[in-house]
Chain A
């Protein structure tokens, strides 16, 4: 009875839009994300300190790279722990192209995505060919990271142990060098928007459903006719290409790269894993929400609370990971979802579908 009444009263374009977006949790998450991106875009109006703007830029980069990992680990449930190898591939590609071939970073970052994507094809092909799953897959990616670190330490062309410094010149748009921080923030936010849209398209597509099916039960998905190898590979390649693009922009922003810094599980947790996990792995808003929570908090811990004592950001990330797994395995977005469902139940008479977020 009440359902009929609410349907009758809900006419008009605004109402329809309202119903179409707010009654759909996926779209609501996108709305939340765009509001957050909008807030970040307005931040330079209020924040003038380059230090704080720098934190926001890194937050946006982490969010974009978090999205790339969310597609692999969150959607298909593959334990691609050392995603940072693809970030490193993209970063090295961009900086080599710029320093040695004078390729504009705008182009270089796209090539970086391509190179990282191809690297993703190789990694996915090898692991699928030899049927590495779960823990073995995780260990394989870590071994690959350690091997690459050693290789890059000795590879003179990419700077060896010294690493590579981005040759800075006067500010120039085509070299992606700017006098102040704002342009970096807007490029990073642009990446986040693209990442969110790609992620959303995948999530809502047939491919996305296959991804989730693989995560929930790979054998069952295969039995139902899903080409699990193909879709697992696709997820890795998409994630790798995005991480490559993110790595390209990351190195343009931090201006240097060295093997021990980048082929490192600590940085891997900070850049790749912490955001999606804390925000809610497998959810749409997770990577952005998580990055917004953990990066600024880790910086505050490092700066204000402990007077720059080393180890404090590790303590923050470590305890965030532990607390998330223990108390909210679906992350902050999972908690938001519970609140959202309560509100929808309380104020409307809509039937909500089953929750399908997160591998928890």
Chain B
């Protein structure tokens, strides 16, 4: 393999991995605070991309301009879902939590399919195939933007969690719900906030994909599965772990796609996932077996 191809694969992998990282950071945030696996996680990415589609086809807005709208809308939806549904099963049998979230996911897919049909859709923007060449490598503009936006949002979220009062409260709740409550933190409010943020940044990942990605209502499932892989790889609940895990899985998939073909590249992630689950379920950054 020539160095150009090698680095090109790494670049492509990192670009995909940036999106994975953003999705996984949302999932790991929710898991870290509430110890609940959001089985409907990918569906929020799907909602994001359809919001971009709607804004673009109805109002002619550029997908990137839709990011704030999607952020607010999906944050609200997430907080509502947390408040109305998830909150009530936090102490229930894990099976009930999974069933509830699987149900929410199906409902979202069903509604989108009902209103937009199951036919693939795409957004057309002038820059969708634009490419810049540098160092002998090719960078697709839309994917470059998506990558840097993902990095920026992850960094902002990290700073938010570490340097603001509310961010610190979120981390406090993730360390100990009861101790946080005793310190006067409104735990339920933190839960609404966390679920809202977690799914909102996932929806943003969807919007970032919009300019050069076909969309179907069932596309979320694949991203859910990838997010599970990434989050377990990077230790459930670990922010930096999910972020790095996303980039790692992106690169692994890019190489698997190069050697095995695009339609079977997922087998590499699944293999890593199964091996991690079996031999190191605490993930790369965990101290002991979960």
Residues of A within 8 A of B (CB): 73, 77, 79, 81, 126, 130-132, 134-136, 138-140, 142-144, 146-147, 150-151, 153-154, 265-266, 269, 273, 277, 281, 306, 309-322, 324-326, 329, 359-360
Shortest CB-to-CB span from A66 to chain B, Å, is 14
Alpha-carbon distance between A81 and B117 when the two chains are bound, in angstroms: 27
Cβ–Cβ < 8 Å partners of A154 in chain B: 263-264
Alpha-carbon distance between A132 and B289 when the two chains are bound, in angstroms: 10
* Residue of A126, A147, A318 contacting most chain B CB atoms (<10 Å): A318
Do A143 and B92 touch (CB < 8 A)? no
Do A315 and B114 touch (CB < 8 A)? yes
Specify the chain B residue showing the minimal Cβ separation from A315: B110
Alpha-carbon distance between A315 and B108 when the two chains are bound, in angstroms: 8
Do B218 and A266 touch (CB < 8 A)? yes
Give the top 8 A-B pairs by smallest Cβ distance, nearest first.
A321-B103, A311-B113, A314-B110, A318-B107, A318-B106, A315-B110, A311-B114, A147-B270
Do B93 and A77 touch (CB < 8 A)? yes
Give the contacts of B163-204 with A (CB-CB under 8 A). Answer: none
Do A143 and B225 touch (CB < 8 A)? yes
Cβ–Cβ < 8 Å partners of B98 in chain A: 79, 81, 138
Do A329 and B113 touch (CB < 8 A)? no
Shortest CB-to-CB span from A345 to chain B, Å, is 28
Do A318 and B104 touch (CB < 8 A)? yes
Shortest CB-to-CB span from B117 to chain A, Å, is 6
Cβ–Cβ < 8 Å partners of B115 in chain A: 311
Given A154-B263, A326-B85, 16 more contacts at CB 8 Å? A79-B94, A81-B102, A126-B278, A130-B279, A132-B278, A135-B37, A146-B270, A311-B109, A311-B110, A315-B110, A315-B111, A316-B110, A318-B104, A320-B103, A321-B103, A326-B88
* Interface of B, helix, strand, loop or mixed by DSSP: helix
Alpha-carbon distance between A303 and B266 when the two chains are bound, in angstroms: 36
Alpha-carbon distance between A158 and B270 when the two chains are bound, in angstroms: 21
Do B267 and A150 touch (CB < 8 A)? yes
The answer to whether the Cβ of B246 comes within 8 Å of any Cβ in the partner chain is: no
Alpha-carbon distance between A269 and B110 when the two chains are bound, in angstroms: 13
7 A-B pairs within 8 Å (CB atoms) are namely: A139-B228, A143-B273, A277-B99, A321-B100, A325-B92, A329-B96, A360-B92
Say which residue of A73, A143, A153, A309 sits within 8 Å of B277 (CB atoms). Answer: A143
Give the contacts of B246-278 with A (CB-CB under 8 A). Answer: 263-264, 266-267, 270-271, 273-274, 277-278
Contact code string B144-179 (vs A, CB < 8 Å = 1, else 0): 000000000000000000000000000000000000
Say which residue of A269, A277, A324 sits within 8 Å of B106 (CB atoms). Answer: A269
Cβ–Cβ < 8 Å partners of B232 in chain A: 136, 139
Say which residue of B89, B217, B236 sits within 8 Å of A325 (CB atoms). Answer: B89
Do A77 and B95 touch (CB < 8 A)? yes
The answer to whether the Cβ of B118 comes within 8 Å of any Cβ in the partner chain is: yes
Do A140 and B103 touch (CB < 8 A)? no
Do B281 and A150 touch (CB < 8 A)? no
Cβ–Cβ < 8 Å partners of A313 in chain B: 110
Cβ–Cβ < 8 Å partners of B37 in chain A: 135, 138-139
Shortest CB-to-CB span from A325 to chain B, Å, is 4
* Residue of A131, A150, A281 contacting most chain B CB atoms (<10 Å): A150
Do B278 and A130 touch (CB < 8 A)? yes
Do B99 and A321 touch (CB < 8 A)? yes
Shortest CB-to-CB span from B266 to chain A, Å, is 6
Alpha-carbon distance between A132 and B278 when the two chains are bound, in angstroms: 7
Shortest CB-to-CB span from A94 to chain B, Å, is 25
The answer to whether the Cβ of B211 comes within 8 Å of any Cβ in the partner chain is: no
Cβ–Cβ < 8 Å partners of A153 in chain B: 263-264
Say which residue of B102, B107, B273 sits within 8 Å of A319 (CB atoms). Answer: B107
Cβ–Cβ < 8 Å partners of A324 in chain B: 99, 103
Shortest CB-to-CB span from B85 to chain A, Å, is 7
Do B96 and A360 touch (CB < 8 A)? yes
A312-B95 in contact given A130-B281, A144-B274, A318-B104 (Cβ < 8 Å): no
Alpha-carbon distance between A317 and B103 when the two chains are bound, in angstroms: 7
Alpha-carbon distance between A6 and B55 when the two chains are bound, in angstroms: 72
Cβ–Cβ < 8 Å partners of A151 in chain B: 267
Specify the chain B residue showing the minimal Cβ separation from A265: B221
Do B104 and A322 touch (CB < 8 A)? yes
The answer to whether the Cβ of B105 comes within 8 Å of any Cβ in the partner chain is: yes
The answer to whether the Cβ of B290 comes within 8 Å of any Cβ in the partner chain is: yes
Shortest CB-to-CB span from A178 to chain B, Å, is 33
Do A360 and B110 touch (CB < 8 A)? no
A140-B218 in contact given A73-B95, A154-B264 (Cβ < 8 Å): no
Cβ–Cβ < 8 Å partners of A144 in chain B: 270, 274
Shortest CB-to-CB span from B77 to chain A, Å, is 14
Contact code string B197-240 (vs A, CB < 8 Å = 1, else 0): 00000000000000000000110010001001100100010000
Cβ–Cβ < 8 Å partners of B94 in chain A: 79, 134-135, 138
Cβ–Cβ < 8 Å partners of B290 in chain A: 136
